[in-house]
Structure 1
């Protein structure tokens, strides 16, 4: 008989806090976790996770999971929608498969449903099924971005964007979706 890991049967305890309420040590640990999990993490990627709410999971005093939701504006169907954009979802490799990612997303999805017109995120191929199983829907239309030079097509993002609809804004998943400007990756 296989012995279960001691934390496998209990729901992870998720702390939620705004960037302004996190101490420098916690921010440093979150940044280090993201750089450890993502090989292609950049300074701009880290910046995209700041300024909103962070969901954090600790085990034995150590940060092992992080996710953030920040406000963005997405244009859809002639409307500017207030979007809870999910960034920096990461669980330390040796702690995966124990419900930490689901616990992080439970908290952020509650925030999105209660405070935004929709949720959105860019999913890596290996995470797409995780988000789809949670009710996130693949955006099937074309993606665009508002830039200082006007609206620009972001075809590389097509097939990677997921949205979490809310009752506040009906969505047509086969039409165009445009994000606001930011440095680094636009989506």
Structure 2
């Protein structure tokens, strides 16, 4: 896969690259950035950000913003939907409020709309307003996970999942939504 460069109206240069196309230094910088942004970041959380496309913002040679979209399967309405799941969205604290988060999401939302049935993400309370303002919709139904032991309820995630309809619209936001299995936080 080739790498692309996008320029948003904010004139923020967002680099898009697949995990396989990122060098070790960039991956280390992205991981360090996310560990600085999130107090509760785990090794599994970092792993969830890998294997897809990364949106990266650099200023003066330093990585100041990261987000990624990885493919997952979500079960909804009797269908397995190809989902662009957004992970690891973070901007360095001293660069927030300048449109960098929006520029990262602009790039990833273009990927979701072009390549997936829907987008999804788990939003922390403080980020929910940001995503809702961008057109992401809170999933109001019950959440589940397809685990090695069968389908299990994930009630703690109810109200924290946001979706961005793409090719699979319309979605019934009040029905059940089941994610595929992964280690760590399944949502």
Query: Scaled by the length of structure 2, what TM-score is found?
Result: 0.94
Q: 1:77 to 1:10 in 2, by over 3 A?
A: closer
Could you list the per-position Cα deviations for residues 125-178 of structure 1 after superposition, in whole angstroms to 9, with x for gaps in the alignment? 000000000000000000000000000000000010000001334200000000
Give 1:69-148 correspondences, 5 Å limit.
69-148=69-148
How far is the alpha carbon of 1:10 from its aligned partner? 4.3
Indicate the residue corresponding to 2:34 in structure 1: 34
**Runs of 5+ in structure 1 lacking a partner?**
1-8
Indicate the residue corresponding to 1:3 in structure 2: none
What is the number of equivalent residue pairs in this alignment? 179
Could you list the per-position Cα deviations for residues 14-67 of structure 1 after superposition, in whole angstroms to 9, with x for gaps in the alignment? 000000000000000000000000000000000000000000000000000000
More displaced, 162-171 or 101-110? Answer: 162-171
Tell me, what secondary structure is at the counterpart of 1:111? helix
1:186 pairs with 2:186: yes
Rounded to whole Å, the distance in 2 between the matches of 1:12 and 1:128 is: 23
1:17 pairs with 2:12: no
Indicate the residue corresponding to 2:176 in structure 1: 176
Rounded to whole Å, the distance in 2 between the matches of 1:128 and 1:135 is: 11
Rounded to whole Å, the distance in 2 between the matches of 1:134 and 1:57 is: 19
Rounded to whole Å, the distance in 2 between the matches of 1:170 and 1:26 is: 38
Q: Kindly indicate whether the alpha-carbon contact (under 8 Å) linking 2:113 and 2:166 is maintained by their aligned counterparts in 1.
A: yes
Tell me, what secondary structure is at the counterpart of 2:162? strand
